[in-house]
Amino acid sequence: MQYRTLGRTGVQVSALSLGAMNFGAIGRTTQDDATALVTAALDGGINVIDTADMYSAGESETMVGKALAGRRDDVVLATKATLPMGPERNHRGGSRRWLVTALDDSLRRLGVDHVDLYQMHRWDPETSDEETLAALTDLQRAGKVRYFGSSTFPAYKIVQTQWAAREHRLGRYVTEQPSYSILQRGIEADVLPMTAAYGMGVLAWSPLASGWLSGAVREGREITTSRSKTLPQRFDLALPANRARLDAVEHLAKIADEAGLTLIQLALGFVTAHPAVTSALVGPRTLEHLRSHLAAADTVLPGDVLDAIDEVVAPGVDLAAHEKLDAPPALLDPTLRRR
């Protein structure tokens, strides 16, 4: 396992991190499953576990906490907030009112007195940067949070939050968690240059592109990835974007074969090769999945393989830009364009 420094924090983290989104109802995993995955991940050299309050309505955090019993100090523990935790309109977002409550709830479910990294799951356009950063700074000073970061923030928002932290003399986001894979390279154009400029660590989610790069999606085969059942539109081959992805996967599979690699090794090796990326988040449901991910832990792609990948999906290009989840509110809400 390779280890890198998380931004400018001095904290050493593994090149692969364990994402716990599939723990609980979302992935139909039991506590025994979650404990086995956490144990195998730690034994395999992974030292970052990432979850969120809204994963299976808190169940993921509870399972992570139980799985870490006796090994808490061996792990860089990360969780997230801001996405809805029920129908109540104030049980979401980046306000001080909610973040103080949300963090206490997460700590209770995890069974710990602090988290190492507390991330804003999405940018909350209804809340000022100063409000959110002030709340996070106070939670950090209270010892409940060691560091805080953002997730899926567009590049201009990363710049704005860094400016707000400096302007108001508050703590700043030290990490960003964006979607990044061979099939979704748009962040290379703006997000990754900004995180590098501000010395932020980057934890890349969906490096296997929701299963497209796992080997489960190939021409002429039945699609077996679990996401095809929960998000069928992402695998509907009648859609042009999905046909483009399948064509790319077929070319990438040939590149992997010629390099003596699995498609998973190619995909994870590509993400961790970018100098701005600290760690790639993998989200296995089974031990078999995890073992295939760990087999890529030390994969280093040579220049000719990286060049071949660029020929399939050009730098800075998203094959499914509509799935990025970072569109500005003005593009999603007509009232903001027509006021």
Residue 118, C-beta contacts closer than 8 angstroms, at least 6 positions apart = 78, 79, 80, 81, 103, 136, 139, 145, 147, 148, 149
Structural domains of the chain ordered from first start: 3-210+265-303 (3.20.20.100)
Question: Which one-letter DSSP state was computed for residue 228?
Answer: H
Mean pLDDT by 10 residues, the chain (339 residues): 96 98 94 97 97 96 96 96 95 97 98 98 96 98 98 96 98 98 96 97 96 82 65 76 90 96 97 97 95 95 96 93 75 75
Residue 67 token pair: 């799985």
User: Helices 287-294 and 263-273 meet at what angle, rounded to 10?
Assistant: 60
Tell me how far apart the alpha carbons of residues 109 and 113 are, in angstroms, rounded to a whole number: 11
Tell me how far apart the alpha carbons of residues 331 and 265 are, in angstroms, rounded to a whole number: 36
Collapsing DSSP states into helix, strand and coil, what is residue 77?
Answer: strand
Tell me how far apart the alpha carbons of residues 132 and 124 are, in angstroms, rounded to a whole number: 9
Please identify which residue in the block is written with the tokens 């007195």.
113
Looking at residue 235, what is its pLDDT?
Answer: 74
Looking at residue 224, what is its pLDDT?
Answer: 67
Which residue among 55, 118, 147, 173 is the active-site one? Answer: 55
Determine how many CB atoms are found less than 10 A away from the CB of residue 193.
13
Tell me how far apart the alpha carbons of residues 332 and 319 are, in angstroms, rounded to a whole number: 20
Looking at residue 29, what is its pLDDT?
Answer: 94
Q: What is the DSSP string of 108-173?
A: HHHT-S-EEEEEESS--TTS-HHHHHHHHHHHHHTTSEEEEEEES--HHHHHHHHHHHHHTT----
Beta bridge partners of 5: 12
Tell me how far apart the alpha carbons of residues 313 and 324 are, in angstroms, rounded to a whole number: 16
Looking at residue 78, what is its pLDDT?
Answer: 98
Scanning the chain, the segments in alpha helix (DSSP H) are: 31-43, 59-67, 96-110, 129-141, 155-167, 191-197, 227-230, 240-259, 263-273, 287-294, 303-312, 329-332, 334-337
Q: How distant is the alpha carbon of residue 283 from its chain centre?
A: 9
180 catalytic per annotation: no
183, 203, 214: which is closest to 47 by C-alpha?
A: 203
User: Taking CA 232 as the corner, what is the angle to CA 228 and CA 236, rounded to the nearest 5 degrees?
Assistant: 100
Q: Are 300 and 308 in contact (CB under 8 A)?
A: no
